[in-house]
Amino acid sequence: MAIFGANKETQSVHELSSSNTHIAKGAAITGDIETYGTIRLEGKIFGNLRSKGKASLGESAYVQGNILAQSAEIAGEVKGTVEIAEILTLKGTAIINGDIVCNKLIVEAGATFNGKCQMGTIVKEITIRDQAAPTPTPQINTKKDKDKETNAN
């Protein structure tokens, strides 16, 4: 009977892990991206990319930052560290300027890689923040506030 009364938390994690994110060619994002599911990148990211699923970077993709994912296929350009828990595939058009840490590596003819490579190691656990960090509430200091502070002392 547990099938019909499945935990909502388990359902939401499953839904998140089966989700797909696509960043199209011509799009540019500044900041970190985190996803439970797969991500297909054709545009540019100026920040880190973290995925509990597969990260696919097309020929027009550009990442200036680090990539941490379960598996990845890269045909574009990356300037940063690439850490992949399982298999990393570098397509013939891939350009990697940075270090690679992965379990298995497939490199097609024509791919460019400038950096160190460490294989067969266990990549750190991929964690995704559930909520964005709270933004601090701006405090406005007026002359009245300063007068109150002075009188309180």
In a domain, 149, yes or no: no
In a domain, 33, yes or no: yes
Query: Residue 151 and residue 55: Cα distance in Å, rounded?
Result: 59
Question: Reduced to 3 states, what is the DSSP secondary structure of residue 93?
Answer: coil
In a domain, 150, yes or no: no
First to last CA, the chain: 66
Residue 139: predicted pLDDT: 46
Residue 27: predicted pLDDT: 94
In a domain, 71, yes or no: yes
pLDDT, one tens digit per residue, over 109-143 is 999 999 999 998 666 677 777 644 444 444 444 45
Residue 48: predicted pLDDT: 96
Residue 120: predicted pLDDT: 84
Point out which residues pair with 39 in neighbouring strands. 21, 55
pLDDT, one tens digit per residue, over 28-84 is 999 999 998 999 999 999 999 999 999 999 999 999 999 999 999 999 999 999 999
- Structural domain total, the chain: 1
Query: Residue 22 and residue 33: Cα distance in Å, rounded?
Result: 12
Contact 46, 30 (CB under 8 A): yes
Point out which residues pair with 50 in neighbouring strands. 34, 68
- For residue 111, give the nearest of 87, 89, 92, 88 by alpha carbon: 92
User: What is the domain range of residue 51?
Assistant: 8-127
Query: Residue 73 and residue 92: Cα distance in Å, rounded?
Result: 11
Geometric angle at alpha carbon 140, from 135 and 141, rounded to 5°: 140
Backbone angles phi and psi of 119, in degrees to 5: -115, 160
